[in-house]
Amino acid sequence: MSTRRGRAAAEAVAGEGPRRLVAPLGQGEALSRWLVQARRLALPHGFVVEGKAGVGKTTVVQWLTAALLCPSQLDESHPCGVCRTCARVANGMHPDVHVLDRARDETERKEFKKSFYVITIDQVRGAQERLARHAVEGRARVLVIADADCMEEEAQNALLKTLEEPGEATFLLLEATRPEQLLPTVHSRAQRLRVLPLDEVVLRHELSTRIPERAEHFDAAVAVAGGSLGLAMLACTERAVHVHDLVRGVVQRTHRLRPVAVVRAALEGSGERRLEVEAARLFLWLLRAELRRAAVGLAADGGDAYGASLTEPWTTWLELTLAAERDLDLMIPPEQVLTACLVAFDAIGP
C-alpha cells in the first residue's frame, strides 16, 4: 500500500484548509530522546523513519522537522507547534524544508520529470543542488524523502555523498514503509526509528474525536487497521466500506465467486489510472487483513497454528495477494491483476 494512504484518508475526511502541526501519538521514549537531540541540532544527519502504511510516519517526520527548525526556547524537548515556523512546516511551506517524493498527478509528473512509481536520480540531484544553497532562515536545512523505499538504485547511490557529507546543520529524513528496499550502504549511513502501532483504545478515541459521524464503522476499521490510525480512518470512508463488503464476500464464500464482477465493482468510479491502482491496493490490503483475521479465528477455534489447517490454503491465499501487489508495481493493469488473483484464489478451493 502507499505510504500516503493514511494522510490522504485524513485529508479526505477533514476537507481542505490549512493544516496544524500535530504531535505523534504513542511513540514513547525512543522518539522523545531523538526530539531532544533535534532541538539541539544534534540529530544524526541521516535518519530513516520506518513503519507500516498509515501508522504515522509523516506525523513523526513533520514533528522532527519542526523540532529542528522551531525557534521557540520554551521547550527543550519538543517544537512549540504553534509558531509561524511550525505552521509552515505543517503546510509544506517552509523555505528550508525540501520534500522529495513521487508525482501525484500527470501535470506534476511532466513539469518536474517525476515518476508515479519511483524517485529518480534526477530528482535526487535536484534536491542536492537545493541543499547546497544557504539556509533561508539560518537554523537548519532539512531534506524529507517521502516513499524513500521507492528510490531507484541509482538515486540511492547518488544520495550517499550527501549522507556522508551533508553540510553544516543539514538533515536528511527518509520515510520508508519497506526499509528493506533501501541499500545497505544507505542504512549504514543513517539512524533508524520505527514508528509503533497504536493500541485499540487510542485508535477508537482518535476516530471518535475526528470522525464521530462514522461510528458504525469503527469496529470493522479497528479490526483491520493493525494499529494504524491512517488505515483506520481509510477503512471508515465510503469507498473502503463498499470494498470491504466485497472482500468479506470473497473470504466468506457466501456465494459462488465471480472474479470479473467483483473486480469491476471494486474499481468502479476510479477514473484515471493512478486512482485505479490505489483502488486495487485498497482491495488487496483489505483482502489480506480479512484472510489474516480468518486464519487467527480458525486457530482460536482449535486449529493447529502450525498445521495444514492454516498453511493450506491461508498462506497460499496471502501469497497471491502479495504477488498481485508486485504485479501492480510492474504497471500491469489493475483489473487484470485483481482478476488473475481472484481466479487463482477461487481455484484453490475452501
Q: How would DSSP label each residue in 280-342?
A: HHHHHHHHHHHHHHHHHHHHHTT--TTSHHHIIIIIHHHHHHHHHHHHHHTT--HHHHHHHHH
Task: Return the pLDDT at 347.
Answer: 83
> Taking Cα atoms as reference points, which of 263, 251, 275, 266 lies closest to residue 346?
251
Q: What is the DSSP string of 202-221?
A: HHHHHHHHH-GGGGGGHHHH
Domain boundaries, the chain: 5-194, 237-348
Determine the residue type at 56: G
Task: Return the pLDDT at 301.
Answer: 55
Residue with cell 476499521: 221
> Taking Cα atoms as reference points, which of 122, 135, 147 lies closest to residue 171?
135
Decide: 197 and 226 in contact? Cβ < 8 Å. Answer: yes
Q: Is 146 in a helix, a strand, or coil? A: coil
Task: Return the pLDDT at 346.
Answer: 82
CA atoms within 13 A on the CB side of 202: 15
Task: Return the pLDDT at 2.
Answer: 41
Residues 6+ apart with CB under 8 A from 188: none
E-assigned strand segments in the chain: 46-50, 97-100, 141-145, 170-176, 191-194
- The grid cell for 304 is 493447529
Decide: 228 and 214 in contact? Cβ < 8 Å. Answer: no
Task: Return the pLDDT at 299.
Answer: 55
Interatomic CA distance for residues 42 and 330, integer angstroms: 40
Per residue of the chain (350 residues), give pLDDT as tens.
443 444 444 444 444 567 888 889 888 888 999 999 999 999 999 999 999 888 889 999 999 999 999 998 888 889 999 999 999 999 999 999 999 987 654 444 444 455 667 899 999 999 999 998 888 887 899 999 999 999 999 999 999 999 999 888 999 999 999 999 999 999 999 999 999 899 999 999 999 999 999 999 999 999 999 899 989 999 999 999 999 999 998 888 756 779 999 999 999 988 888 899 999 999 999 999 998 887 776 555 555 444 445 456 778 888 999 999 999 988 899 999 999 999 998 887 65
CA 193 to chain CA centroid, Å, is 15
Model pTM above 0.85:
no
- The grid cell for 350 is 475452501
Interatomic CA distance for residues 237 and 54, integer angstroms: 14
- As to burial, measured by CB atoms within 10 angstroms (0-12 exposed, 13-18 middle, 19+ buried), residue 297 is exposed
Task: Return the pLDDT at 53.
Answer: 82
E-assigned strand segments in 146-300: 170-176, 191-194
CA atoms within 13 A on the CB side of 112: 22
Interatomic CA distance for residues 317 and 270, integer angstroms: 25
The rounded radius of gyration (Å) of the Cα atoms in the chain is 21
- Would you identify the CATH topology of the domain 5-194? Rossmann fold (3.40.50)
